[in-house]
Amino acid sequence: MKTRVCIIGGGPSGLMLSQLLHLKGIDNVVLERQSREYVLSRIRAGVLEHGFADLMRTAQCGERMDREGEIHEGIFIAHEGRLDRIDLHKHSGSSVIVYGQTELTRDLYEARDRMKGIVIHDAEDVQLHDVSSDHPYVTYRVGGESVRVNCEFVIGADGFHGVSRKSIPKDVLREHEKLYPFGWLGVLSRTKPVSPELIYTRHERGFALCSLRSQVLSRYYVQVPLTDKVEDWSDDAFWTELKRRLPREVADRLITGESIEKSIAPLRSFVAEPMRYGNLFLAGDAAHIVPPTGARGLNSAASDIYYLYHALIAHFEKGDDTGLEQYSAKALARVWKAQRFSWWMTNMLHTYPDSISYEQKLQQTELEYLLSSNAAKRSFAENYTGLPF
């Protein structure tokens, strides 16, 4: 098989780039290790910044998001039994959209199908070859058959556990990583959300988050030790723990129900540099991960895709490679800002098992400063709603 751009990974990053390139007439193929059903069963992001939403519209995939997604102009922070609101719109002039990653991935798949885009599912043993040359190629197996894809560019959009980043030689790639001593236990339930806007909670028993997917679908999280297993947590135990961490008035109106998904995600900060090696370009979770506290993960992927899309268009349409040459530095500059914000927000709101009283006092002071200073709220709002691309 021959194509111009071979994209590894059929998550939001890979599908978005595929769709954008296709609309500009640039031939591409997406190779996805999992089945479509599996990709669509993963429950992940819920909050999108306007930059991501704009890309969905450019990709002609924004119609359902604009119809069904909810615009949120503020978030709540719960602490010491009280609720404080940060007005995102007032402080930054911007807002976020609550629209699930599952739904936007479904929209992207449907668009790819409509345009007869090539997305190969169940692609096993994907391997990248000669990416530092002008003739890279990718091999994979599907249904017992081996296939070779000759291309001009390879895009590694295969998430944190993908194969692309690992294809960059060890003496070229620098990895920066921070692991947190806790995870998030998440529950999705077909219940009315406890609050119309998200509630981020700091509590001595650990962080909690009340989020939502729609007015009939709620998403809640509680901080748990890394040693906990999902099987340890019955639905009852989850609701009891969540209520203990929420302010009384919120806990009293929480509607509980059967969980329709329950999983534990470890928290990690990670950046791989550079994001380019020859004709291989990394994008999204393949190159960087944030703890979900600041809702930045998918939104960091969005700027990678934006830069990469424009760089590839300039290359194919005008023979101008400036964007490709600058891609890694440009993408990383924004990635590190999202890293900083996610790390800061995680530190402020979580309970650390070994923290000393001095650190706990500072955490509390950080939060009090945020909630009492318009300058701090403005900084929070501009980061949470998305720094410019």
| Integer Cα distance of 20 and 30 in angstroms | 13
In sequence order, what E strands does 190-273 have?
A: 199-201, 208-214, 217-225, 259-273
Pick from 17, 20, 21, 47: which binds ligand RFL (CB under 6 A)? Answer: 47
Interface region with ligand RFL, contact rule CB under 6 A, candidates 83-91, 152-160, 232-240, 351-359: 152-160
| Interface size with ligand RFL, residues (CB under 6 A) | 37
Task: Tell me which residues in 241-270 interact with ligand RFL (CB under 6 A).
Answer: 265
Which CB atom, from 150 or from 263, has the smaller least distance to ligand RFL?
263
Task: Tell me which residues in 38-97 interact with ligand PHB (CB under 6 A).
Answer: 46-47
Please report whether residue 201 would count as binding ligand PHB according to CB under 6 A: no
- The option from ligand RFL, ligand PHB, none interacting with 219 (CB < 5 to 8 A, set by class) reads ligand PHB
Sign of the four-CA dihedral 240, 243, 248, 250: negative
Whether 186 contacts 43, CB under 8 Å: yes
| Integer Cα distance of 274 and 327 in angstroms | 9
Q: Which residues pair with 223 in a beta bridge?
A: 184
| Integer Cα distance of 184 and 343 in angstroms | 15
Which CB atom, from 40 or from 313, has the smaller least distance to ligand PHB?
40
Per the rule left: phi > 0, alpha: psi between -120 and 50, beta: everything else, 244 is alpha
Q: State which residue has the least CB distance to ligand PHB.
A: 46
Residue type for position 156: G
Please report whether residue 293 would count as binding ligand PHB according to CB under 6 A: yes
| Interface size with ligand PHB, residues (CB under 6 A) | 8
Compute CA 178 distance to the chain's CA centroid, rounded to the nearest angstrom.
Answer: 17
Pick from 254, 284, 307, 331: which binds ligand RFL (CB under 6 A)? Answer: 284
Residue type for position 353: P
Burial class (CB in 10 A: 0-12, 13-18, 19+), 169: exposed
**Using CB under 6 A as the criterion, which residues of the chain lie in contact with ligand RFL when the complex forms?**
8-14, 31-34, 39, 44-47, 101, 123, 126, 157-159, 161-163, 184, 186, 265, 284-285, 292, 295-299, 301
**Using CB under 6 A as the criterion, which residues of the chain lie in contact with ligand PHB when the complex forms?**
46-47, 198, 211, 219, 292-293, 295
